[in-house]
Structure 1
Amino acid sequence: MNIRLIRIGERGNEEPAVIMVDGSDDGKYFSLASLTPDIDGPFLAADGIARTRQALAAGELPEILVSGARVGSPITRPGSIVCIGMNYAAHAAESGSAPPETPVVFLKPANTACGPFDAAPIPPSAEKYDWEVELGVVIGREASYLSDPEEASSCIAGYLVANDLSEREYQLPGDAGQWTKGKSLPASTPLGPWLVPADQVDPGRLRLRSLVNGEIRQDSSTADLLFDVPTLVHHVSQYMLLEPGDVILTGTPEGVALSGRFPYLQPGDEVELHIEGLGRQRQQFYREGVTQ
């Protein structure tokens, strides 16, 4: 049974739900409130996806109507958002760097996570705010010092669309750069709309795209990843404890504003992100601190 996990409602009051994919464009929505208070690490670690399918098959979940409701991040606030830098050779090149020989790992604060359609603030002093479409990996069970990529695959609960919004003027100037400053801004990690279970996805063959004001910026495939998903999960587990509900962002392909080919984001711009089988995001940008 193909399903998509989703959280619906105003920020801080989202309700867990599941979409049963039935061949229609939207599928049918069912409440998960009888199974779990939220879609989070404990739910995933307790075989939440399998229990959801069982409950759907048994007719135990009530159908709900969601027309017009806000969509939140499909996973409640992660413990960690772990990011991989320069994981596509062409993006490394447009960033002025050689492709890395080992994964480049950094962290974003968990409080940057937000919904896939939420209005997106550009920081008051930001001049080089940039988009990055990325495949997000959601961890389903504790992972530490994993033995190999095959074991790492068994720790993945599912996948989602992510936007790793980045202020390049904060991130890159100076000899060392300041990645934390450029990657930690409020609402800079839209996630979703869905969490799609791992057994429904081939993470190595997904088309991913970004558009700004309707014009294509990025158009690539996860087949071009320098380090594939199991390799990344295995690698990260050697350096930190991954917990259920954590999210790994696997890197972005070429086509960002940093390349010099496109302007950086401005108030009023609209960004759309698409990943095959995982849905689409859309953000409208505004200047933080300016009355709209």
Structure 2
Amino acid sequence: MSVVIVIPARYASTRYPGKPLVLLHGPDGSAKSLIQRSWEAASAVSGIDRVVVATDDDRIRAAAEAFGAEVVMTAESCANGTERCADALERMGGGAEIVVNLQGDAPLTPAWFVEDLVAGLQAAPDFKVATPVLRCDGAALSGFRADRRAGRVGGTTAVFDRDHRALYFSKEVIPYTSADYADTADTPVFHHVGCYAYRPDALTAYGQLPEGRLEALEGLEQLRFIENGWPVLCVEVEGRGRAFWELNNPEDVPRIESMLKLIG
């Protein structure tokens, strides 16, 4: 089965303009751009036939080509990463049976997250879209709560039914729990990992689906599928002691750099 990873990247981020080109220092002191570290994470995934960076910005294109990435230029009108993946697939001439959207702000994504995601979608023929979720421990949940108290948009959380069909995604911490948890204790909150796997017909349909009220309120592209009756499979992945976070705000840079040092 042909599997392609597309890394959508745009320069004009509302919360963090120029984010794909921000430099992150690794454990050896080397400085690499966010888009390069995300591309390296994608390239480490096994069973992938092709990895491409999808952008509409010449600065990102030049930076990506300089470190050896394949780049597909997409339309400026793409409103989110899913639309950009759909545009990229069309410009690539199709051919993939599964398209993975590994967002360009997630350089800490372990290879097994993507491998398990692809395997989960392959094993669930009734689903056209899948996304990983990671159970929060007490320390991660405390970080989510601290971000919300400070008015920052931190990670996204997910709730799903007993068949792992997504019920909702939110930038708030859901489900609500007032309990305190030890740092290493499991909690009922799941961190939504910013990665998706689609069958091509889901990508083709996405641009024709109307933006829903909840998508507009939350600013979460995956809600368009749910609001239009397309089931989304939540694939639970294991952290294996690996730190994970997306770069959402400038304040996340030192957090991610410290996590890079833990990975080594």
TM-score by length of 1: 0.27
Structure with more of its chain in strand, by fraction: 1
Q: Which has the larger radius of gyration?
A: 1
Richer in helix (by share): 2
TM-score when normalising by structure 2? 0.29
